[in-house]
Amino acid sequence: MSKDERRVKHITPKTEDFSRWYIEIIQKSELADYAPMKGMMVIRPYGYAVWENIQRLLDQRIKATGHVNAYFPLFIPESFLQKEAEHVQGFSPEVAWVTMGGKEELEERLAVRPTSEAIIGHMYSKWVKSWRDLPVLINQWANIVRWEKVTRPFLRTTEFLWQEGHTCHETSEEAQTETLLILSLYKEFVETELAIPVISGIKSFREKFAGAQETYAIEALMSDGKALQMGTSHNLGQHFSKAFNIRFEDRNQNLQYVWQTSWGMTTRLIGAVIMSHGDDSGLKLPPRVAPIQVVIVPISMGNWKEDVLPAAQAIEEGLKKVGLRVLLDTREEFTPGWKFSEYEMRGVPLRIEIGPRDVKAGQAVLVRRDTREKMTLPLDAMASKVPGILEDIQASLFREAETFLRENTRQAGGYEEFKDVMDNQRGFVKSLWCGSDACEDKIKEDTMATIRVIPLELKSQAGPGACVCCGKEAKALAYFARAY
């Protein structure tokens, strides 16, 4: 690409075409690119660096709660998938099948894992013998393949990366405690690190994981008013332990089936970061997961290498010393103005500009990506002040998203009002529901909205009242939304 071609890239405004804005941002900021195979993507270094930060921060939490990592095979024999009836029904339409190894046709097809309950269940049946072996608290970081019809980078791709936890417990209560522990861990992680507020609760039967007893989820609201499932935590009950014969001798020497959970979050989280915080100028990355937290752009005029560069390098060093991820961009083939736009588009939380006059005045100019606020700071205050500014940006992104979530969560008592909100405003609609599949299906058909979650704390607040759809007695208060 010649210098001229590297001009500031134009992005379709978010309000004009949200989907196009989303795709353009991903490609222009080099988070990801399309692979030549339908539905697959390449996570480019800038996007992968976000994922590495997510991995590190999530992995710490997973380990701090007593879990350990392991690695299970990519392939699952077809007969294993078939052992849990609901599971195979849910997943087999989405499976990529390996049928040949070298030049030979395989006797049994191998599924490229769409999730790992089946293969892990088989291994657990070998490993778990006694209550002394429990709990089993294992997580794995892996790639997953699901043959999806409609795909979109990060949100739904044929292959994606995730972590999947798979645990075994002595009692039903322990499994339930684990399920909810992870649900709250996920919520805390997403809110703290990604600055995205979420609602959490239980899924309806229609929306639960194929093979689970109950599925819990955290859901966020993207800035186009559609909901995005951010993570799920399943109480598997004894569904898989019975299918895979995972039994243990309990404290009274009786053979029992273990109680299990599974839970996961994926590279979809990167899509959520883009859609929650981004604007017409591009990404806004939360400082905690931004690959570059601070970019330093020296104003390259005159003798800048002598006048400005040493001061810029001193800032870089000082900030790196306090543990920040800093880039000093000294390239001469790009103008400072081009760099400003480029790093805005890439969502770098804080920019530091420094020119000859700044150096003389012993200061530099800081520009926040989120508010575009400019401030002047003495050079010797950088290392002490910048970390706090980044924390403030993180908090401010969260507050903004929280306000958006609050303003776009509405109550609807009647069905006409419900449909009206879904057609004109989207967002979450809180309504009473009778608990029937029929109403859930009708609402989906009429409005494209599904039950995202039934919040745990609101479950008891349900009655008395009438279902928003059929008017019969309500069993729960649910959050409805159109979703990705």
Which residues contribute to the site for its own copies (CB under 8 A)?
1-3, 33, 35-37, 40-45, 47-49, 51-52, 68-75, 77, 80, 92-103, 109-110, 112, 119, 122-123, 126-127, 129-130, 132-133, 138, 142-143, 145, 147, 159, 161, 249, 333
Minimum distance of its own copies from residue 30's CB (angstroms): 9
Q: Which lies closer to its own copies via its Cβ, residue 147 or residue 404?
A: 147
Distance between CA atoms of residues 271 and 275, nearest Å: 6
Contacts of 416 (CB under 8 A, 6+ apart): none
Query: With respect to its own copies, which residue has the nearer C-beta, 45 or 302?
Result: 45
Q: Cα(77)–Cα(390) distance, rounded to whole angstroms?
A: 49
- The span from the CA of 205 to the CA of 188, in Å, is 25
As measured in angstroms, the least distance from the Cβ of 68 to its own copies is: 4
CB of 368 to its own copies, least distance (A): 26
Q: Give CA–CA dist 194/11, Å, rounded.
A: 23
Q: Residue 324 CB, nearest distance to its own copies (Å)?
A: 16
Smallest gap from Cβ 134 to its own copies, in A, equals 12
Minimal distance, residue 263 CB to its own copies, in Å: 17
- As measured in angstroms, the least distance from the Cβ of 291 to its own copies is 9
Extract the tokens encoding 244. Answer: 């895979």
| CA angle, 32 then 35 then 37, to 5° | 150
Q: What tokens were used for 77? A: 């024999």
Measure the CA–CA gap between 199 and 478, rounded to whole angstroms.
11
Q: Which is nearer to its own copies, 44 or 385 (CB)?
A: 44
Of the pair 148, 392, the CB lying nearest its own copies is at 148
Dig out the tokens for 49 from the structure. 């660096």
Nearer of residues 30 and 437 to its own copies, judged by Cβ: 30
CA distances from 134 to 123, 168, 224, 241, 257 (A): 14, 7, 45, 14, 12
DSSP single-letter state for residue 454: B
15: left (phi over 0), alpha (psi -120 to 50) or beta: alpha
Place of tokens 């210098």: 3
What are the structure tokens assigned to 308, written together? 């400005």
Q: How far is the CB of 141 from its own copies (least distance, A)?
A: 9
Asked if 29 and 8 touch (Cβ cutoff 8 Å), the reply is: no
By beta-carbon proximity to its own copies, the closer residue of 6 and 206 is 6
Instruction: Pick the closer one to its own copies by CB: 59 or 402.
Output: 59
Closest by CA position to 330, among listed 312, 346, 311, 343: 312
- Which of residues 346 and 482 has its CB atom nearest to its own copies in the complex? 346
